[in-house]
Amino acid sequence: MVVTFCFVVAVKSRCIPRCALRGALLFPVCFNLFACESDDGPGPVEAAEPEVAPVNDVVPADPIGPSSGLPPNELGEIMVLEYHRLGEPEGEFHRSAKNFRGDLERLYEAGFRPITVRQMVSGDIDLPRGTSPVVFTIDDSSLGQFYLLDDGTIDPNSMAGIWEAFQREHPGWEGGATWCVLPAADYPSNFFGERPRREVAKEVREERIQRKVDYLIQNGHEICNHTLYHARLDKAKDDLWVQEWIGRGEDSVRVYLPEDYDIATFALPLGMWPKNRELAKRGVYKGREYSYDAVLEVTGGPSESPFSVEFDPFSIPRVIVAPGALTRKLDRYRTHPSTRYVSDGLPGTVAIPATDAHRFAQDRWPDRARKVTGDSPSEGL
């Protein structure tokens, strides 16, 4: 005799709160109970291993705010944007406050939503259907990035303040950026320093840094190591120097972080690799190991999807947001929409166009279900 029991298991999504509809994923699970009979009559009932049924009827929630209107394509590329100082005149390493606000607005209206580098490399891309991830990396903890006013509130004209206000006005813009900090660089890159060190008492400076780091961690942002003071790793005398520059940078940031916080991302100063490239990924300083899940380059264009066989987490290219750069990228996605990563709204699956099925990195993501979406990523939803 066989008795079949079916029930639903709710698996909590790793996403930050978006809406109650997306708080859990429902998986129908069935198993059979087999009544074994012997010469003496029915034997004990034993349960077989449960089998997880395919999830075919889960409907992703509608996005809050604009979406791309494109079909899912989770092998599309992801823009990893690179910002430095806030100010004018604009150039390769300066962005005006007005245009930084404008960047957020244009990306939001085009259906992009922010994730961190950590989320990208771990495949934790939990976005509504039809939206695309975009990664903001903000380098050097420098001028204009994060200021506090005398009353303790965030300066609304700093990058952190602009981001906070935009999030408040656009509920669909959740998540944070990746901030690659310099703990010991000179002003104006002295760990979000608002003034040169000698002008601020040590205890005041330390307290303000701690408040800023706490705020970033509590609001979904990521802290990234960028060495102690923007050291040129290619100029290091030997391997010990490389490990000291990276290890001291990490140690100097870690004193402000929760004890269990894992620094997952390292940004190469000026994109320069040490002679022993492996030391940018992992090494030892003062008997303590450091290791990273991601290494950021300085340039190179959009990144491959983390689900693609072409993706290299230890050489992630970026797009410097110089004048006109973001406009050119968005124009390209309008004319070549099939190149863009578009979420299917289901974090447990990877939506793959049939023509690109061979590009899925199955060995790196053995637990992810593939969902072939159609012959071409340019087909309608």
Is 364 inside a domain boundary?
Answer: no
For residues 138 and 200, membership in a common domain is answered with: yes
For residues 124 and 37, membership in a common domain is answered with: no
Is 347 inside a domain boundary?
Answer: no
Q: What is the pLDDT of residues 92-126, one digit of tens each?
A: 999 999 999 999 999 999 999 999 999 999 999 99
Q: What pLDDT score does 294 carry?
A: 98
Judged by average pLDDT, the poorest of 1-10, 276-285, 300-309 is: 1-10
Report yes or no: 63 and 119 within 8 Å, Cβ to Cβ: no
Domain that residue 329 falls in? 79-339
Tokens of 312: 């290299």
For residues 252 and 122, membership in a common domain is answered with: yes
- Using the 3D structure, point to which of 52, 71, 92 is the last residue of a domain: 52
pLDDT band with cut points at 50, 70 and 90 for residue 194 = confident
Is 74 inside a domain boundary?
Answer: no
Q: What pLDDT score does 353 carry?
A: 94
For residues 48 and 106, membership in a common domain is answered with: no
Q: What pLDDT score does 375 carry?
A: 52
Q: What pLDDT score does 75 carry?
A: 98
In the predicted model, is pLDDT for residue 15 greater than 50? no
Q: What pLDDT score does 263 carry?
A: 98
The mean pLDDT of 208-236, rounded to a whole number, is: 97
For residues 326 and 254, membership in a common domain is answered with: yes
For residues 16 and 162, membership in a common domain is answered with: no
Is 351 inside a domain boundary?
Answer: no
Give the integer Cα–Cα distance in Å for 128 and 111.
10
For residues 264 and 148, membership in a common domain is answered with: yes
For residues 312 and 186, membership in a common domain is answered with: yes
Q: What is the CATH number of the domain that holds 280?
A: 3.20.20.370
The mean pLDDT of 171-177, rounded to a whole number, is: 95
Q: What pLDDT score does 376 carry?
A: 58
Q: What pLDDT score does 57 carry?
A: 53
For residues 229 and 84, membership in a common domain is answered with: yes
Is 162 inside a domain boundary?
Answer: yes
In the predicted model, is pLDDT for residue 137 greater than 50? yes
Q: Mean of the per-residue pLDDT values for the chain?
A: 86
Q: Which of 67, 83, 118 is nearest to 306 (CA)?
A: 118
Is 145 inside a domain boundary?
Answer: yes
In the predicted model, is pLDDT for residue 157 greater than 50? yes
For residues 43 and 86, membership in a common domain is answered with: no
In the predicted model, is pLDDT for residue 162 greater than 90? yes
Most confident option among 25-34, 58-67, 190-199, 273-282:
273-282
Q: What is the pLDDT of residues 250-297, one digit of tens each?
A: 999 999 999 999 999 999 999 999 999 999 999 999 999 999 999 999
Higher pLDDT, residue 256 or 27: 256
Is 305 inside a domain boundary?
Answer: yes
Number of domains forming the structure of the chain: 2
Judged by average pLDDT, the poorest of 18-22, 82-86, 164-168, 339-343 is: 18-22
For residues 20 and 147, membership in a common domain is answered with: no
For residues 167 and 132, membership in a common domain is answered with: yes
In the predicted model, is pLDDT for residue 26 greater than 50? no
The mean pLDDT of 299-328, rounded to a whole number, is: 98
